[in-house]
Amino acid sequence: MRQRAPEPARPAVTPSYDTSFETLPGFEELRLIRATGEALGIGNPFFRAHEGRAGAVSRIEGREVINFASYDYLGLNGHPDVRRGAQAAMELYGTSVSASRLVAGERPIHRELEARLASLHGADDAVVFVSGHAANVTTIGSLVGADDVVFHDALIHNSVIVGAELAGAARRSFPHNDLDALEDMLIHERGSHRRALIVVEGLYSMDGDAPDLSRLVVLKERFGAWLMVDEAHSIGVLGAHGHGIAEQAGLDPARIDIWMGTLSKSLASCGGYIAGPQPLIDFLKVTAPGFVYSVGLPPAAAGAALAALDVMGEDTGRVAALQRNARHFLATAQAAGLSTGTAEGHAIAPVMVGDSLKAVLLSERMLARGVNVLPIIHPAVPHKSARLRFFITADHDQEQLDDTVRILVEELDESTRLLAALGFAEG
């Protein structure tokens, strides 16, 4: 056996890198929020465990509560057909496809699902990814680069921002739904980049309002930009058949360059997708790292989403029930004097609280009264715009919605009184 050469002497070094996780940005803010919550005896509203299927009602800490924290807008999670769709796909293909589709992970069910998603959006084709977040990051990361610019709504989902930043593209955020400001930016930036991508959501998950799609199309056509619409919260929610914002706006979906959606909300599954013109889909399938170098969608997830699309197509009563419930909740909340910001009565309704601590306290008090609704606090929303966010589903009934508004009004007053008694100035 050959002897290894002796290790050369290396100069002594004093470690100079910061290896503490607790000095990472945001950690101190997290610690302060926890400490204040503990001092006030308020539990952590996040990571609450649901002990079964979480729909319009759910079981938390052994108790059945009315649930407003599920994106299962159409109540299809656990629908017998959807469960059967997942099971049949799993029986046929197993629990995983174990590889990227490009090499050995392709199954007929993937293309079946993509054809259905493409037709939902009136697009040439579609491609599915293992999550909605991954779909945005990898698609935007592949489409734009250092020579390009991304314009996005100030309330756009994190995955869009991460995608634009990883791509090294210039990023311009316009105030929420302010298309005059977008137009000014487009004028100002004209000619300074190779490609421009405008990204909006079909329905905003923080405020529950939709953009003016017709005007966006006019703008993108006038300036020669791509328009990408993230329909995570608008599929199953907007339009008479739940086909999203183009159906609601009465626009030809082919005028939008890039449709993005997720399988995890109305479609009761897991995964994300892009639908659009054939060259776009062909390009993503050979270049987007989150597709090329990542596993194909699990068969059960594809089977569930396909079955959910079937149920949604056959039973538009669910979409109508959701829309009726959403309008009813908003009207009842507003009539009770609650502040619902810019919500338009489409499945997502924030109730503005202002102070973050108060929103957390209120969420805890609502749970004690049998209503699960989560607080949204800084940094997810700007300072002083903390809120409780209600996700309405087709399966809620009007009595549940009315009871919730009544309890909320009582608990809002009580939380204000409690915090004042404890000497906490609302910030």
Residues that bind ligand PMP (CB under 6 A): 131-133, 136, 157, 159, 201, 205, 230, 232-233, 262, 264, 272
* CB 405, min distance to ligand PMP, A: 25
The least distance separating ligand PMP from the CB of residue 402, rounded to whole angstroms, comes to 28
User: What is the closest distance, in whole angstroms, from the C-beta atom of residue 127 to ligand PMP in the complex?
Assistant: 15
Residue 140 or 281 with smaller CB distance to ligand PMP:
140
Three-state DSSP state, 323: helix
**Closer CB to ligand PMP, 233 or 396, in the complex:** 233
Count of beta carbons in the 10 Å neighbourhood of residue 189: 16
Beta strands in 211-256 (DSSP E): 226-230
Give 233 or 358: the residue with its C-beta nearer to ligand PMP.
233
The nearest distance, CB 194 to ligand PMP, in angstroms, is 26
Question: Whose Cβ is closer to ligand PMP: residue 101's or residue 389's?
Answer: 389
Structure tokens at 277: 């013109």
Q: How far apart are CA 244 and CA 253, in angstroms?
A: 10
Q: What is the CA radius of gyration of the chain?
A: 24
Least Å distance, CB 257 to ligand PMP, is 17
Minimal distance in Å, beta carbon 373 to ligand PMP?
16
- What residues contact residue 190 under an 8 Å CB cut-off, 6+ apart? 223
CB of 88 to ligand PMP, least distance (A): 23
Q: Tell me how far the alpha carbon of residue 241 is from its chain's centroid.
A: 21
Q: Which is nearer to ligand PMP, 114 or 201 (CB)?
A: 201
Question: Which residue, judged by CB position, is nearest to ligand PMP in the bound state?
Answer: 132
138, containing H or E segment = helix 132-143
Contact in structure between 265 and 233 (CB atoms under 8 Å): yes
C-alpha–C-alpha distance, residues 232 and 67, integer Å: 20
Measured in whole angstroms, the distance separating CA 48 from the mean position of its chain's CA atoms is 19
Tokens matching residue 301: 């997830």
Residues 268/145, Cβ–Cβ less than 8 Å: no
Q: Taking a C-beta distance cutoff of 8 angstroms, is the pair 172, 150 a contact?
A: yes
Closest approach of ligand PMP to the CB of residue 16, in Å: 38
Among residues 301 and 357, whose Cβ is nearest to ligand PMP?
A: 301
Kindly report the length of the chain.
427
Provide the minimum distance between the beta carbon of 7 and ligand PMP in the complex, in angstroms, as a whole number.
48
CA atoms within 13 A of residue 130's CA, in its CB half-sphere: 17
Cβ(361)–Cβ(373) below 8 Å: no
- Residue 355 or 375 having the CB closest to ligand PMP: 375
Nearer to ligand PMP, 42 or 156 (CB): 156
- Do 97 and 295 touch, CB atoms closer than 8 A? yes
Closer of 56 and 235 to ligand PMP (Cβ): 235
The C-alpha atoms of residue 47 and residue 42 are separated, in whole angstroms, by: 14
